[in-house]
Structure 1
Amino acid sequence: MAEETEILLYDRTHWGRIEVKGGDRLRFLHNQSTNDFESLQTGQGCDTVFVTSTARTLDLVTAYLTEESVILLVSPNRKEKLWQWMDRYIFPMDRVELEDITEKTACFSLIGTESDRLLEALGIPPLTDAPHGTNQQVTLGEISLRVAVGSGLATPGYTLIVDLEEGQSLSEKLIAKGAKAIANPDWENLRIQQGRPAPDRELTEDYNPLEAGLWNTISFEKGCYIGQETIARLNTYQGVKQQLWGLQLSQPVDPGTPIQVGEQKAGTITSCIPTPEGAIALAYIRTKIGGNGLTVQVGDRSATLLDLPFISRGYLATPSE
């Protein structure tokens, strides 16, 4: 894990950015994903999940409402799929336009509790204590950029979006003020240690967002949207059969490795990284087996379930008897 006072800088330019424009953009996104867009105002934002009609996960997306559009920050390997998914639901009378701005923009995450101090040192007003997704357009010298609350992880921080040609200059300014650049393997370590699910690992069509620990991205109050009936039924009847957990191991194992409690299969490893103490993994565990602190078997070794900070839960905070 990073030191408490470190400010990490992760280049997310390779992630996808889709801009949704038109007078019906909020209604459209409200009907396409799990969170409540119609209650949001310009300068606000949220995390939301795009799901299939049977509530299987397509991607965890962060949305930023600007005066003229909604910018969607999507996982690197999900941009084309989400573009095609949304495009198929735009009908002739809809006032909705999609624009892929990935190649026009650069994107960075500032990660760390001292991120406010770094922005202040650059003359950028920090959005201290503002809700996740709050965003504003600011200037840094000749650079115009969008600053949004949220690092993409559970650790406090910011997401910065800027024109592509200004990306290197912005990065250099951030590093000059003390940010430490990290690479993709560092991000992968952080997201596993914090429990952020990733496509092709924890976010696949084998799982729904309740199982993936993404309860805080779901509005249970809004009306119909794609996948809503399944999600509402799972919540109402407490029908979630498996949950995402962290796992403390004595050594790394491969994704796909089964987990057991006695002779009973309890779950499956989805991601794993080595640590000085052994390894930390993400795994789906059957709900009736148990939760935080439970000892399980992985191969011939024991391991312990961990509740990680990115994961949110609803009625499943403690397993039912």
Structure 2
Amino acid sequence: MTTDTLRRSPFHAYHEEQGAKLVDFAGWQMPLSYGSAIAEHEHTRSAVSLFDVSHMGRVEVKGRDARQYLETLLTRRVTDMAEMTCRYTLICNEQGGVLDDALVYRFAEHWLLVVNASNRAGVLEHMEALRGDRFKVTINDTTEKTAMVAIQGPQAMSVLEPVSRDVGKLRRYGFTVKNLLLFKLTVSRTGYTGEDGVEVIMPTSLAGRAVGMLRDEAEKRGLNIKPAGLAARDSLRIEAGMSLYGHEIDAETDPITAGLGFGVTLTEPDPDGPVIPRFIGQDAIEAVVARGPGRQTLGLRLEGRRTPRQHDPVVLEGNPVGAVTSGCLAPTQPGPVAIARLRSGIEVGTTVEVGLAGGKTIVPARVCKLPFTRDGLS
């Protein structure tokens, strides 16, 4: 795909102005970094950064059957969600494999799903197939009509509090809708970095002015908000132990094996409450829970300074026991870290070996719990 055919974010002019290195990501021309990905990572952990996440899919669901439709589509119950809250969830196939992970937002009159850019087309196809003639719902892909930014870091709320007191009072996974220059913004206290902050969805026409207003507000308060790209976002999410599609999760991996059981509801619904259908893949996931998963997802802290990569083998006493799913040098950690898929039964604290560069260089590593850091705490 050439740069002429790539989709451009509504913040494209801003990226060029800031000297971003632009790359093809899921059909979008997106900023990889603005100079040093390590500096952007460290700035997010210590101050506040702005990430363009407009490539993420945004899909509205509304209609008479919207609740039951989403209960069937998503692994996590939505009936008990309060309005103006959002929730992490997954979309699975009948075999229990993950087609995508998502955030679901509950508005008063409709729902919103935020899905991964690389899976947007496949998720929409899956949603349309599920709807068929069974559910009376409208599915509206608003991705290219809206823009989305993530403002992340320990100073994020200090930047935003003067804009709106409601934003400053948001609880984690809560959101509010604000009016700005006659436009509506959805502001949720969510993120993908392991730091506090918000994600903001806005009309595309507001993108340029919104960035300028954020910078002006930060300067007034003596705060230095800087742009950060995809490379820093990836190392930040690895430190936070967060899954990425195609690495920790895929259509062959169930949520329990991936360590995402919190995103699955298997409890029986209230018999006196609304009817809640079983979700796609529930039978298969319940079977995994009943027999116990054969693999587990844990962290590794490696010796040395070399970066572990996806598929690097993990060995215990000469026997293969798993593989790295994601890894990085971890700028704010003592050394390299990795997320790994390991054989069940391997305990935290076990010393294993990782074959870097596909097994060419052997490095000791200690098995640990995830995350490596969250909200600045290691």
Q: Fold-level match, TM-score > 0.5?
A: yes
Cross-structure match for 2:122: 81
Cross-structure match for 2:340: 283
Normalised TM-score (structure 2): 0.76
- Counterpart of 1:165, as a letter, is S
Cross-structure match for 2:312: 257
Deviations 1:1-26 (A, max 9, x none): 54554122111001111111212111
Q: Point out the more displaced range, 206-215 or 170-179.
A: 170-179
Using the alignment, how far apart are the partners of 2:346 and 2:299 within structure 1? 14
- The within-5 A match list for 1:1-321 is 2=42, 4-126=45-167, 128=169, 130-132=171-173, 134-176=174-216, 177=218, 178=223, 179-221=225-267, 222=269, 224-237=278-291, 239-249=292-302, 250=304, 251-275=306-330, 277-291=334-348, 293-299=349-355, 300-309=362-371
- Counterpart of 1:303, as a letter, is A
Q: Residues 64, 310 of structure 1: CA spacing in aligned structure 2 closer, same or farther, 3 A cutoff?
A: farther
Structure 1: unaligned runs, 5 residues or longer: 312-321
Using the alignment, how far apart are the partners of 2:290 and 2:154 within structure 1? 37
SS at match of 1:20: strand
Contact 2:297 2:342 in 1 (8 A): yes
Whichever of the two has the greater Rg, that structure is 2
Q: Residues 26, 148 of structure 1: CA spacing in aligned structure 2 closer, same or farther, 3 A cutoff?
A: same
TM-superposed CA distance for 1:234, in Å, is 2.2
Cross-structure match for 2:26: none
Deviations 1:296-317 (A, max 9, x none): 1013220122322399xxxxxx
SS at match of 2:366: strand
Using the alignment, how far apart are the partners of 2:208 and 2:244 within structure 1? 27
Normalised TM-score (structure 1): 0.89
- Counterpart of 1:117, as a letter, is S
SS at match of 1:126: helix
TM-superposed CA distance for 1:30, in Å, is 0.8
TM-superposed CA distance for 1:124, in Å, is 4.7
Contact 1:57 1:203 in 2 (8 A): yes
TM-superposed CA distance for 1:123, in Å, is 3.2
Using the alignment, how far apart are the partners of 2:257 and 2:240 within structure 1? 16
- Counterpart of 1:149, as a letter, is R
Using the alignment, how far apart are the partners of 2:372 and 2:330 within structure 1? 19
TM-superposed CA distance for 1:188, in Å, is 0.8
Question: What is the RMSD of the two structures over their aligned residues, measured on CA atoms?
Answer: 2.0
